Amino acid sequence: MDRKSGSSRQGDAPAAEPAPLLRPPSFGGEAADGRRWEFDFKNGVLVTNRTPIDAVFIGDSITHFWELNAYFRRFGLVVNRGIAGDKAHILARRFEADALQLRPRACVLLVGVNNTWGPGTPEEIPALVADSHRRMLAMARERNIPLLVGSLLPVGEGCEDYPRRNLLIRRINGRLRELCAESGAPYVDYHAAFAGPDGLTMREGLSDDGIHPHVIGYNRMAEVLTPFLQAALPG
């Protein structure tokens, strides 16, 4: 069986019953609850059938809305586990179920912008996001799964309170960059590719609402990410 192809193992007898599955409990009405049943059913298929996964993308709406196979199908089977509205500390609680138990060859993480809406102070929010990433890096390292950590994108003028939010994003990204340097994890710097002349605000022409990339924004993200995927998924 060609591992890179992402196809099912050949010659295995069909499973007689579902395999044991990690299922996170309710998050108390958080956005992550909205796709819990969906992901449990999908994870059950992949885990029970021992489907080889090449990459899991996990994050918030920017991942959720990304048509991944339009960009990355050359790398094999790519699974999307993004949830619109998710936050870093909540995602860390579903990371093992929605990423690690699928046993991907690599995982791509992008989360934290929703944390900038609070709660928390400008000091507490970056610390919370960084601590959540630190926990996920440790979990991935235990499974020997490369974790590619994405910077937060800047937001544009269409986003509420964008000047303050962009300063907070810069602080968060600084913490993530330091964390990646300490751990040896790849830091995927989308921010540099999206920021305008001030180094803070999203350039025009990449998003309709100042938060979510449209096709041109996703094209740029793919350009930034592809070399990291090539390194993580050789062959």
Over range 178-183, report the average pLDDT: 98
Annotated domain spans of the chain: 45-232
Over range 203-216, report the average pLDDT: 98
Q: Which pLDDT band holds residue 13 (cuts at 50, 70, 90)?
A: low
Give dist(CA 116, CA 172) in Å, integer: 9
Give dist(CA 219, CA 89) in Å, integer: 28
Q: What is the pLDDT of residues 165-174, one digit of tens each?
A: 999 999 999 9
pLDDT given for residue 5 in this prediction: 45
Q: In 3D, which of 181, 175, 186 has the Cα closest to residue 140?
A: 186
Residue 137 pLDDT > 60, yes or no?
yes
Give dist(CA 40, CA 9) in Å, integer: 21
Q: What percent of the chain is modeled with pLDDT above 90?
A: 91
pLDDT given for residue 12 in this prediction: 62
- Find out if CATH 3.90.180.10 is the number for domain 45-232: no
Residues in CB range of 46: below 8 A, 6 or more apart: 53, 79, 102
- Beta-bridged to residue 81, according to DSSP, are 58
pLDDT given for residue 208 in this prediction: 97
Give dist(CA 205, CA 189) in Å, integer: 19
Over range 125-145, report the average pLDDT: 98
Q: What is the pLDDT of residues 46-71, one digit of tens each?
A: 999 999 999 999 999 999 999 999 99
